[in-house]
A and B are shown apart, each in its own frame.
Chain A
Amino acid sequence: MTQSSPGITTHTGTAAPLDQANVDTDQIIPKQFLTSVSREGFGRHLFHDWRYLDSDEQELNPQFALNQPDYAGASILLARENFGCGSSREHAPWALADYGFNVIIATSFADIFYGNCINNQLLPVALDSNDMDTLFTAVHAHPQTPVTVDLEAQQVSIGDLCFDFSIAPHHKTSLLKGLDAIGQTLELEDRIAQFETTRAAWQ
């Protein structure tokens, strides 16, 4: 099997709480930063409008969770329903990963964003809203307590708390093995070529 990255098995780190529903991709990475032609360097613009008081990114907004000293160095982001809604821009997961996040734990995710995370080895974990409440409370109370996300066991734990999560088997395999999706498909060249012979000329 072709591999593109080492893969994810478990991740442990502190969490930053973004206690908000419907965080859209325009908020994650605003359009003025989409003019780049590379995948790198989006982290400094992550959550630009909320994170900075000025457009030149000189003045941090002290109210914003990610700017609070308690959450400095967090590698896990907590959020609520419908995280990543809006555009298909893959710049959103690129920005989150470049900032230093390895895992996003939220009540639910928008479809395109979720797929984009998988393709970038950024682990999206969906927990039900009661578990999210408990997790937010635990992180607010003890910001320095590490959170462990075990993909193999499909569990999130913090202190004595432990939550199970579900993930589609094929997504899990992609993340665990860090597979090169294109390389895998190219191995099916014969099938693709065969399919093409069945297509009508006008298609």
Chain B
Amino acid sequence: MAHTLYDKVWQAHIVDEIGEDSLIYIDRHLIHEVTSPQAFAGLKEKQRRVRRPDLTIATMDHSISTRSLAIDACGPQNALQLSTLADNCEQHGIQLFPVGHQKQGIVHVMGPERGLILPGMTVVCGDSHTATHGAFGALAFGIGTSQVEHVLATQTLKQSRAKTMRITVSGTLPTGITAKDIILAIIGKIGHAGATGHVIEYAGDAIRSLSMEERMTICNMSIEAGAKAGMIAPDDTTFEYIKGREYAPKGEDWEAALTYWKTLYSDADAQFDSEVELLAADIAPQVTWGTNPGQVIGVNAPVPGPDNFDDPVEKESAQKALKYMALQAGTRLSDVPVNHVFIGSCTNGRIEDLRAAASVARQGQVAPGVTAIVVPGSGEVKQQAEREGLDRVFTDAGFEWRLPGCSMCLGMNDDILQSGDRCASTSNRNFEGRQGRGARTHLVSPAMAAAAALRGRFADVREFQE
């Protein structure tokens, strides 16, 4: 019988069948300061231990400052959360990458960097962007704190099988079009809840041609289409990325692993519950105009209005979004001024993202009245960028160069916008209030964000191609 990639990974992790559910073994559990304290408290209350501290890795990312390494830089509440994580990790023997550690970073950036994420693994984290790791052909998904506690105690999770959706992107990507544009175009096509209940497999030659970092950007935003997870079958690009990394298998283990990993693909005649197809050539640089990631258009398209939608729910959502975003139907994005630019996050805080942004930043100066910050996704990204002189490119152009962390993606720290601010952001959510109460977020690629910083309004990055 033909199997999908998801089927194969799923089957390989079934510990037991319980009714129509399966008990699934978890290979990697990533934890951070925000969604773990109550889980550890639950263990303590019931006098339970962490079953596999060796399969659990912790980092500090959400609640930290990107201006200071001081643990209390964002106030006493954040400091308590961070010190609670440190205490829990020490008590249970879990490796922690704390603030100031050379390898610390956003959980979804530092995990793959360390070689912790391998094809065919099950990976969970109390964070919805855990889908990122599906780029390696892992089954990776976000979980709530009760489930974090469950995994800590049992290294398993009770799960129902998801439906499958294959999204095929065919053809060659036009110049200036990035992974961020692909995933935004996909979400625009299928909608903010279009993949609810599904695990997506991204396929097609346009996906196959992407680097690992670009694949992570794609899978990262699977949740923004409502998907449980997003996966890409591993190939030579994947294996080359992993080889030699700190936690990657070595020697004979590497050969054994590679043999297994090469079996991880959807069989030719595997059936998916639904299929979606896009042509790479049709994708323009994307900008969100509304308050969910599905409300997105090509940079040169006019902002739509309620009349552009037939579905009553979408019509009403559009009306509400335009009001919140202070935009009118028909407006051109090139006429919309921005006063903040954020480059970073688990979606777009990797070295290739910073290189793309720097290639635009080199061409000018941040426009008057615009505050632009660049936040590397990890210590390793920061060090690499500095070796390449990208920090100087940014600071010379008027961008601020920060310390690694989640930063303004969600503003659980001191990087927060004020009401009425309008931000071109490389993050993943443009929800109301996401970056600050009353603040307006437009999701874009790193190069588009840099272009907006230079122009002081949205601009087509293809005008900046060197």
Contacts and interface: CB of A to CB of B under 8 A. Distances in A.
B268 interface: no
A93 B127 CA distance: 15
Interface string B426-439: 00010111100110
A82 B192 contact: yes
A contact patch SS: loop
Nearest to A55: B437
A88 B142 contact: yes
Nearest to B251: A202
Interface in A176-203: 181-183, 185-186, 188, 191-192, 195-196, 199-203
B18 A119 contact: no
B228 interface: yes
A36 B38 CA distance: 9
Interface string A25-55: 0110011101111110000000001000001
B302 interface: no
Contact of A112 (B144, B156, B412): B144
A202 B317 contact: no
B193 interface: yes
Interface in B396-445: 410-412, 429, 431-434, 437-438
A200 B256 contact: yes
B433 A22 contact: no
B410 A90 contact: no
Contact of B48 (A88, A112, A182, A199): A182
B288 to A, nearest CB: 13
Contact of A203 (B63, B78, B84, B118): B118
Contacts of A55: 437
Interface string B136-180: 000001111111011001111010100000000000000000000
Contacts of B20: 168-170
Contact of A86 (B146, B316, B431): B431
Given A88-B128, A88-B144, A191-B23, A200 B38 contact: no
Interface residues of A, number: 53
A186 B153 contact: yes
B370 interface: no
A7 B158 CA distance: 19
A82 B226 contact: yes
A24 B292 contact: yes
B197 to A, nearest CB: 6
Interface string B270-301: 00000000000000000000001000000000
A24 B292 CA distance: 9
27 contacts: A21-B313, A24-B292, A26-B429, A26-B431, A31-B410, A35-B75, A38-B37, A39-B41, A39-B145, A49-B438, A82-B193, A86-B223, A86-B429, A87-B429, A88-B35, A88-B130, A112-B142, A116-B145, A119-B146, A169-B20, A170-B20, A181-B146, A183-B46, A185-B154, A192-B155, A195-B25, A200-B256
Given A49-B438, A192-B51, 10 more contacts: A22-B192, A30-B437, A36-B81, A37-B81, A38-B41, A89-B144, A119-B146, A170-B20, A188-B16, A203-B27
